[in-house]
Chain A
Amino acid sequence: MAEAAIQIEDVSKRYLLGEHHGAHGTLSDAFGGSVRRLLGREPAHLPEIWSLRDVSFEVETGQALGVIGRNGAGKSTLLKLVTHITEPTSGVVRTRGRVGSLLEVGTGFHPELTGRENVYLNGAILGMRRSEVAQRFDEIAEFAGPQVRRFLETPVKRYSSGMYLRLAFAVAAHLDADIMAVDEVLAVGDAEFQRKCLGKMSSFEREGRTIVFVSHDLSAVAKLCPTAVWLDAGRIRGYGPSREVVDDYVAAGITPTAEREFSDRPDAPVAARSAAVRSAAGNAVASLARDEPFTLELRFVVRERVADLDFAVFMENLRGVRVLDEAWSETAVLERGAPGEYVARISVPPVLVVGDYVVGFWVGSAYDTLIYEEEALRLRLEGDAKGRRNRIVQLGLAWEVERVAEPRPSARRAEPLPRP
């Protein structure tokens, strides 16, 4: 048996809420708070969340481990512990060899710098020596593709997002690390780019590097990683051969949620009010017959005028495939979003197959994201899958069939075609 490259022993990680992004306190609050605590007027503890709870496993040297689980299950937290970005609250994580983190594509890229300068900067951020980057520069540029290579001396702010991604991934892919921690990076980028990245990752595997790979794309996990771990609310719910873990995960489904209210953020220029799935009769339902149409409804309030207001709703199946993603701007001319309350509804015809779906939405403008809820609702479509597990949509398209020739006289007895 190969030796372990990563050991995770009884690891738990607690976050204190209220310390979360965007909710930064001010000094005066803090002074006020500590005065109140000294006077015994306020409990000293903040609400807490256990992002990981009693997690233990090992990854062998040269093994590729997939990590799957719903949003908030603790996948990114696990990677941050393996990469030593953050400390566990209890337990211990051990790693052996150089750890490379690819938690986000293009971390540390600077828009004003040229492609070439960013390659060196990004290399240094990922822990590469300048000489190492110089030595691999041509390979990196080659991997990023001809389009990027032509613009290496141009500031990356002029790059398209595709070019930017290619270059960023190219740098990370040439990092000479023994352990690679990769988080959802393939969620972005076009199909060809994703294929290339996956190809590169399987070559890491062949080179004997250890990979921890978090992805929404369950088929990529199954293909790339022999073993997978399934995290659910911070705990390990499954561990083993990845095809089995993935199947269990998909079979476990989700708890449907038909309607959701969002807590208001009074300081936000745009805030979500509620989201719902409604049947044709207008009731909020989480579970529908496959052949019934339904409506997705989104309410939000605009407090400050937003130039080019836009919004989109999307649905993902449990294999992480986005089966629907509709933006308002695709059918309407964008206008200024005047302040006020908005209700947006979109009817979905009965084209989706039986299964569970996660509904998310986005509100923003041509330039900005104002609200992004990846997992607002959970919907179940019931009915007969007719044994066709791999299909994604069921459009009920009509066949047009006609018999275009009589059988030749020498043929055996002609059978009449059954009528549809």
Chain B
Amino acid sequence: MAAVAEQWRENRPTAGARVLRLGELWSYRELVYFLALRDVKSRYKQAFFGIGWTVFQPIVGVAIFTVVFRRLAEVPSEGVPYSVFALLGFVIWSYFAGSFGNASGSLVANASLVTKIYFPRLAAPIASLLPGLVHLTIGLALLSGLMALVGFVPSLAAPLLAVCVLWTMAVALGPGLLFATMNVKYRDVGAVAGFLTQLWFLASPVAYPSSLVPDAWRWAYAANPMVGVLDTARWAVLGTPRPGPEILVSLGVTLALLGLGLLYFQRTEREFADVI
């Protein structure tokens, strides 16, 4: 038990950006896992809403999309049955929107931990990306059911969907970190994040294909990283046209936002326990 051999660990004022202590974060991976597990369990313990709700939501969502976008606006769907086209978009978008929202609230939601326990603060927003995977999996199962029902054979590149999910996580985490940090000081940013998500939805090819956007605008459109994610996912699973070089813009913006989020988070991290 005697700790004589141990290294001294210092707590002194720091200024500016800190280095990302990924090694330390790794040693707290079980905490990430348990925080995520806590959210999953507590969400699905209210059994009535749990699984039922998860299945109900995408079905109703796609039904509404079909009426509004397909019937009223006559949106095309790249030669794929519209329901399949829209469900894939809906499932990925829901995962993104949910994770972005969770990440934005992750520090405030864990305020009692932040003020009472030491842990790498990055564990909270990262853990908040995981519970949505349960939803996502159920949604994808639903999608396979629907594809079997309408007799649609998935493309051979379907396993690339896993990469798209990781990409979605990165898209949610960057802005999520920015909002989580601001949320610590200013509690009204939650509403801003909600509003932003709604605008973002309209600017993303969830219920419509990105081919609707005029060619001249495609590069600017791709500055929305979800354009890259959704186009790639549809190409991989449904065999829609392969995304052009503009997805590099999506990728670049994703990385830039993630970098910005991490930087802001690391700079402000030291104040969280005092201010939250």
Which residues of A are at the interface with B, using a C-beta cutoff of 8 A? 3, 5, 7, 15, 19, 24-30, 61-62, 80-99, 101, 103-104, 107-108, 110, 112-113, 117, 120-121, 124-127, 129-130, 155, 178-179, 207-210
Contact = CB atoms under 8 A, between A and B. Distances in A.
The 8 closest A-B pairs by CB, nearest first: A97-B3, A124-B34, A178-B3, A112-B42, A92-B12, A93-B11, A107-B116, A26-B188
A107 to B, nearest CB: 4
Interface stretch (B151-159, B253-261, B267-275): B267-275
A24 B41 contact: no
B3 A101 contact: no
B8 A94 contact: yes
Contact of B2 (A95, A129, A208): A208
Given A85-B116, A87-B14, A80 B42 contact: no
Contacts of B7: 96
A107 B8 contact: no
A59 to B, nearest CB: 12
B249 interface: no
B186 A30 contact: yes
Nearest to B114: A85
Interface string B231-251: 000000000000000000000
A86 B116 CA distance: 10
A402 to B, nearest CB: 60
Contacts of B186: 24-27, 29-30
A207 B3 CA distance: 12
15 contacts: A24-B185, A24-B186, A28-B188, A87-B13, A89-B13, A90-B13, A92-B12, A110-B38, A113-B38, A121-B38, A124-B35, A125-B34, A125-B113, A127-B28, A207-B1
Contacts of A104: 112, 116
A168 to B, nearest CB: 12
B116 A129 contact: no
Interface in B33-52: 33-35, 37-38, 41-42, 45-46
A85 B41 contact: no
B30 A85 contact: no
A257 B204 CA distance: 64
Nearest to B187: A24
A214 B37 CA distance: 33
Which of A89, A113, A129 has the largest count of B CB atoms less than 10 A from its CB? A113
Nearest to B46: A112
B271 to A, nearest CB: 8
Given A15-B274, A104-B116, A208-B1, A129 B10 contact: no
B26 interface: no
Given A85-B273, A178-B1, A208-B2, A108 B117 contact: yes
A112 B37 CA distance: 12
A395 B199 CA distance: 72
Nearest to B183: A24
B9 interface: yes
